[in-house]
Amino acid sequence: MPQEKSLQGSSTRAVHGGERLQRVGDALTVPIYQTSTYVFRDTQELVDLKEGRIDKGEYGRYGNPTISAAERKIAALEHADAALLWASGMCTITSMLLTMLRAGQHMIITADSYRRTRQFCDGMLQRLGIEVSVVPPAQPQAIEAAVRPNTRLLFSESPTNPYLYVADLQEIVAIAKRHRLRTVIDSTFATPYNQNPLDFGIDLVMHSATKYLGGHNDLLAGVVVGNTNMITALREAQGMLGGITDPHTAYLLLRGMKTFALRMQRHNANGLALARFLEGHPRVRRGYYPGVESHPPQAIARRQMRGFGGVVSFEIDGSLQLTSAFIDALRIPYVAPSLGGVESLVEQPALMSYYEMAPEERQRLGIGDSLVRYAAGIEDTDDLLADVEQALKVCR
């Protein structure tokens, strides 16, 4: 729409993107269209819909005005033609991969990816006859070496979870073009505020909208963005797979995104301040954050990102028990999974996400006993730093 194209800034897009339409009752806020089905005036209107002469609702699994508004806003934030919401981030990933791949084909995924994504690729996709190769993150040469004649898809997070490695998007696109592959980036940790992979030539970008986009730890949703043709194909698949979100969730997402740019400014500031504080601290063995000099792909991050988010991972100089004592000594963050909300959250991945695994298996995946993932919220920076400083005293 012409009025949407003029919305250039992140804050303006976050507030107005996807909403510059006439609404029922001239309401400023997008209403919650709490309906499962839509009526037709007569059979001719039904025929007009089926033949593409009009655009209106038919059945809740195929679309909803509240959901559509949230999709348009996310598309505006990501510089995309279109967006498609799903019930969760994992629903987005699994449905997308099931739609894009078939038996006998091959995909490449980077190693430092969310464990449930890896489990789906290693387990269900393999059982369906889809081959999967896992390559080290942030190593384009390893990606190219893994390409086979039947490779169809490159999938990576950027930054990755939990070590925040940054994929070189230009290199990934160059490899994909040489081998005629589709590319998908999970940009949840970066957010559209800090990075727009489509601008580099990536085909599809997905987010767990549960995190920074929603921003308040009160909803579950996922989203994929891209060009109109690819999103249309995925929307057709969604009508069969059924992993839709609901209008109330979409309303909460719309409301959360109004303050998205403002929240990201504080997330970025708190993440960077925390990473700098931890860098070189005598009780911290190593830190991981794209915005500091010690992080390996820092030059790539500076080239393709505008900010680096609120998640900081680091290793305490101590045992599993000492790391747990540090976490328990923190007074501000909640001990909880997830990230991207206004509240700071902290977890020890060895106990939170990988507890069921044997220690040697966790080590094989690079999840050490002393690893901490701190998702900084939007609290005052000085308060967060003072809290971490006092908690580190238990690590003597």
Residues with catalytic roles: 61, 114, 186, 211
Give me the phi and psi of 74, to 5 degrees please: -65, -40
Query: Pairing mode, if any, of strands 284-288 and 371-375?
Result: unpaired
What does the alpha-carbon distance between residue 272 and residue 302 come to, in Å, rounded to a whole number? Answer: 13
Pairing of strands 345-347, 334-335: parallel
172: number of CA atoms within 13 Å, CB side?
Answer: 31
Measured CA to CA, the distance from residue 148 to residue 192 in angstroms comes to 32
CB count within 10 Å of CB 351 equals: 14
d(CA 328, CA 387) in angstroms, rounded, equals: 11
For 384, the token pair is 């967060």
